[in-house]
Amino acid sequence: MSGLSNFYRSAVGKKALMAASGIVLFGFVLVHMLGNLKLYQGPEKLNAYAEWLREVGSPLLPHSGVLWIARAVLLAAVGVHVVTAAQLTLRNWQARPQKYRQREVLEATYASRTVRWAGVIIGLYVVYHLAHLTFGWSHPDFIPGDVYHNVVSGFQIWWVSGIYIVSQIALGFHLYHGLWSMFQSLGWWNSSRPPDWRRRFAQVFACIITLGNLSFPLAVLTGLVK
Amino acid sequence: MKLTLEIWRQKTRDSRGRFVTYSISDASPDMSFLELLDVLNEELTQTGEEPIAFESDCREGICGSCGVMINGKAHGPEKGTATCQLHMRKFRDGDSIRVEPWRSKAFPVIKDLVVDRAPFDKIVQSGGFVSVNTGSAPEANLIPIPKPIADKAMDAAECIGCGACVAQCPNGAAQLFTAAKVSHLALLPQGQPERYRRVQRMVDEMESYFGSCTNFQECEAACPKGISIEFIARMNRDYLKGSFSGSGG
Instruction: For A121-137, write each residue's pLDDT tens digit.
Output: 999 999 999 999 999 99
Q: What is the signed CA dihedral for B17, B23, B27, B33, rounded to 10 degrees?
A: 10
pLDDT of residue A226: 86
Read off the pLDDT of residues B124-183 as tens digits, 9 standing for 90 and up: 999 999 987 777 887 878 889 999 999 999 999 999 999 999 999 999 999 999 999 999
Question: Which of A3, A6, A91 is closest, CB to CB, to B212?
Answer: A91
Contact B184, B157 (CB under 8 A): yes
Q: Using 50 as the pLDDT threshold, list the residues of chain B that sit under it.
A: 249
Q: How far apart are CA B190 and CA B205, in angstroms?
A: 22
Q: Choose from A8, A12, A115, A197 for mutation: most chain B CBs within 10 A.
A: A12
State the Cα–Cα distance between residues A83 and B163, nearest whole angstrom: 30
- Interchain proximity A92–B248, CB inside 8 Å: no
Interface contact B233-A100, CB threshold 8 A: no
Fold type of domain B3-111: Ubiquitin-like (UB roll) (3.10.20)
pLDDT attached to residue B140 = 78
Distance CA A96, CA B108 (A): 10
- Using alpha carbons only, give the angle A213, A215, A221 rounded to the nearest 5 degrees: 125
Report pLDDT for A192.
61
How much is the ipTM here? 0.91
pLDDT at A194 over 70: no
A101 contacts B218? CB cut-off 8 A: no
CB of B163 closer than 8 Å to CB of B117: yes
Per-residue pLDDT tens digits for A134-186:
999 999 999 998 999 999 999 999 999 999 999 999 999 999 999 999 999 99
Q: What average pLDDT does the structure give for chain A?
A: 93
How far is Cα B111 from Cα A144, in angstroms, rounded to an integer?
69
- Please give the backbone phi and psi of residue B223, each rounded to the nearest 5 degrees, phi first: -65, 125
What are the domain boundaries of chain B? Answer: 3-111, 117-245
Distance CA A144, CA A152 (A): 14
Give CA separation, B221 vs B147, B179, B228, in Å. Answer: 26, 15, 9
Amino acid (one-letter) located at B158: E
CB B233 within 8 A of CB A189: yes
Residue A221 has pLDDT above 90, yes or no: yes
> Which pLDDT does position B249 carry in this prediction?
47
Nearest residue in B to A14, CA atom: B212
What is the full DSSP assignment across B3-59? EEEEEEE-SSSSSPPEEEEEEES---TTSBHHHHHHHHHHHHHHTTPPPPP---SSS
- Pairing state of beta strands B96-100 and B3-9? parallel
CATH number of B117-245: 1.10.1060.10
Contact between B27 and B1 (Cβ < 8 Å): yes
Asked whether the beta carbons of B15 and B2 are under 8 A apart, the reply is no
**Closest of A26, A172, A23, A226 to residue A164, by C-alpha:** A172
Please report which helix (H) or strand (E) contains residue B115, including its range. strand B114-115
Q: Which residue has the higher pLDDT, A64 or B115?
A: B115
Residue B93 contacts residue B1 (beta carbons within 8 Å):
yes
**B220 Cα to chain A: minimum distance (Å):** 8
Max Cα separation, chain B? 64
List the one residue out of A113, A218, A12 whose CA is nearest residue B235. Answer: A12
Q: Which fold has domain A3-221?
A: 3 helical TM bundles of succinate and fumarate reductases (1.20.1300)
Same fold, B3-111 and B117-245: no
Which of B100, B169, B215 is the best residue to mutate to test the A interface, defined by the most A CB atoms within 10 Å of its own CB? B215
Q: Can you tell me the distance from the alpha carbon of A200 to that of A214, in angstroms, rounded to the nearest whole number?
A: 21
